[in-house]
Amino acid sequence: MSTSTRSAVVTRSIASVSASSGWALFALILVLWDVVGKGDETGLIVPFSTVVQTLWDIVTGPSLTEDVLPSVARTLAGFSIAAVTGVVAGVALGWFRSLEPWFRGVLEFMRAVPPPAYVPVAILVMGADSSTRVIVIAVGAVWPVLLATTDGTRRVEIGYLDAARVYTRSIGAILRRVVLPSSLPQILAGLRISLAISLILMVVSEMISSTSGLGYKILQAQRLYDLPTMYASVLLLGVIGFLLIFGFSRIERRATVWYEGTKGRGHV
Amino acid sequence: MTRLVSAAVSAVERDYSPGNRAMLSRLIGRFRPVGGFVICAGVYAAARGLGLLPETSTPSLPALARSWIGGLRDLTLVNASLDTLHATALGMLFSMAIGVTLGLATGLLVPIDRLTGVTIEFLRPVPAVALIPVAIVLFGIDIAMQIFLIATACVWPIVIATKQAVRSVDPMWRDASRVMGRSRTGTLLRVVLPASVPGIMTGLRISTSIALVVAVAAGLLTGSPGLGASLAAAQQLADVPAAFAILVMAGALGMALDWGLRGLERIVSGWQIAITEDKR
């Protein structure tokens, strides 16, 4: 009894030590970055503390409302358009099964185009303003959701549909109450990829013929050789990406608890 | 030509008897993907004709085709694609070497996983294109810069895929190998590693599409050689058909890479498909 308790305590303390060692390594890398940066005479490596200071200035200064927030807003707007379009079109394509073989090839092709390639083409077609950037984010990000939703809709268990048809004849209700919920895990997996693409496209679209935004700020800082601002903006972008994806994972996990349950994985 | 068409028509008429209906529908089935492209091209041309799309800044289909074929003939498109492929291949090579090693280490050894977990989770979501200016400062605009960016962007999916693949190797296989007298290293090399190849291949496929994204973005923004640089040039010259032709070329390249990797996947992980899907 006592030995097993002691070994449990030992195991737990080893576990907690190595869990915190991850943070320790992370901190060590940051400290190393700072030290190397301070010792560096070429000015190429900016110390971490300077970068954080610059980052703080950006977040508290006028740049927050001029560059940072508009960038985030454009990302979310483009992503939302992509999400809605992708889910609606994907459900339609998955529901009307005979359509899918016709358009599968086209969709796979559109997805195979590296999304940044859409940016200059969109600027040529629609001009270089803010709405073009939102549209380009939507155009680049829509394919993963669309394909994932199509697959999800096609794979809804036939038993669910039969059971639903016993109760209602309304296709709208079946789509809303059965098809959408049961393809949610696939849809969310697609949305996750779309979110990552949205972030990439936000940066790329703001680096081309642009006058504002985080991407513009990064490129401008590089051209002026203002390295602290450049590193700080890259770091800020990393933090924004991290927060968006982290937030999305939380929503995803909450929305698919039932699915993990059916697969015999734990309730989180 | 007309003889050929009339022969085809009469063949279809002959085949469209009840007995041959299945064959006809198979024939249609074979051409459905092409039909999808034809329909989309038709919709595009109609939208352009009706003025829904601006005529001056979208190319007509013949102009697009001319520009694309011209680019293939004078090798500008081919060379740009080869430059992009070159950077992608080398970048993938680096990220495979680092990613598989790191994935094996974190998958097999829990302390290493704990040690590196936080750092990896922080580095992973940084969009690689944000590092382009950093890469310019460090590497200039050579192809080395693209390789660096591709390697940093693609290493994470490979690490994660390798780690998960190693962890999901059936413990029974490992035990069996040990019981039959293989050493730890032998088990690792002859059992665990081959068994995780399918998982690693999935990671490779995911990161190849990311590699293409990064290569194009880097070329677009810096003029580093490849499809991205050609696209930037076309934009600056306002050469609309060329820009669309490069877009089509980029899509074709993406699809070709994906097909190639799927083929490779069938070859190296066919055994897994055989043991899981044949049982269904």
Return the amino acid letter for A54: T
Q: What is the pLDDT along chain A (268 residues), one digit of tens a residue?
A: 455 566 666 666 666 666 677 788 888 888 888 888 787 777 677 888 888 888 888 888 787 778 888 889 999 999 999 999 999 999 888 888 778 778 888 888 888 888 888 888 888 888 878 888 899 999 999 999 998 898 888 888 888 888 888 887 788 888 888 888 888 888 898 898 899 889 888 988 888 877 888 888 888 888 888 888 888 888 888 888 888 888 888 888 888 777 766 665 544 4
The whole-number pLDDT of residue B9 equals 64
The crossing angle, in degrees rounded to 10, of helices A100-112 and A130-154 is 140
Number of helical (H) and strand (E) elements in chain B, helices listed first: 12, 0
Alpha carbon distance A112, B213 (integer Å): 10
The residues, ordered by sequence, that sit 6+ positions from A33 with a Cβ below 8 Å of its Cβ are A45, A47, A48
Sign, CA torsion B176/B177/B178/B180: positive
Q: Identify all chain A residues contacting B114, using CB atoms and an 8 Å cutoff.
A: 18-19, 21-22
Tokens representing A125 are 């077609």
B114 within 8 A of B172, measured Cβ to Cβ = no
B163 within 8 A of B103, measured Cβ to Cβ = yes
Tokens representing B253 are 């390249």
Does residue B172 register a pLDDT over 60? Answer: yes
Average pLDDT of chain B to the nearest whole number: 81
**Can you tell me the ipTM of this complex?**
0.77
The whole-number pLDDT of residue B2 equals 62
The whole-number pLDDT of residue A109 equals 86
The whole-number pLDDT of residue A1 equals 45
Does residue B8 register a pLDDT over 70? Answer: no
Which pLDDT tens digit goes with each residue over B82-111? 888 988 999 999 999 999 999 888 888 877
Average pLDDT on B46-55 reads: 76
The whole-number pLDDT of residue B92 equals 92
Does residue B271 register a pLDDT over 50? Answer: yes
Radius of gyration of chain B (CA): 25
Find residues 210-229 of chain B whose CB sits inside 8 Å of chain A. 212-213, 215-217, 220-221, 227-228
- Cβ–Cβ below 8 Å for A238 and B115: no
A197 within 8 A of A248, measured Cβ to Cβ = no
For the entire predicted model, the pTM comes to 0.81
pLDDT band at B39 (very low <50, low <70, confident <90, very high): confident
The whole-number pLDDT of residue B280 equals 40
Return the amino acid letter for B137: V
Alpha carbon distance B50, B162 (integer Å): 52
Q: Of the candidates B37, B136, B250, which has its C-beta nearest A117's C-beta?
A: B250
Alpha carbon distance B84, B101 (integer Å): 26
Q: Of the candidates B130, B254, B255, which has its C-beta nearest A234's C-beta?
A: B130
* Helix residue ranges, H only, A40-157: 48-60, 63, 69-95, 100-112, 118-126, 130-154
Is B51 within 8 Å of chain A by CB? no
Which pLDDT tens digit goes with each residue over B210-264? 889 889 988 888 888 888 888 888 888 888 888 888 888 899 899 899 888 888 8
Is B21 within 8 Å of chain A by CB? no
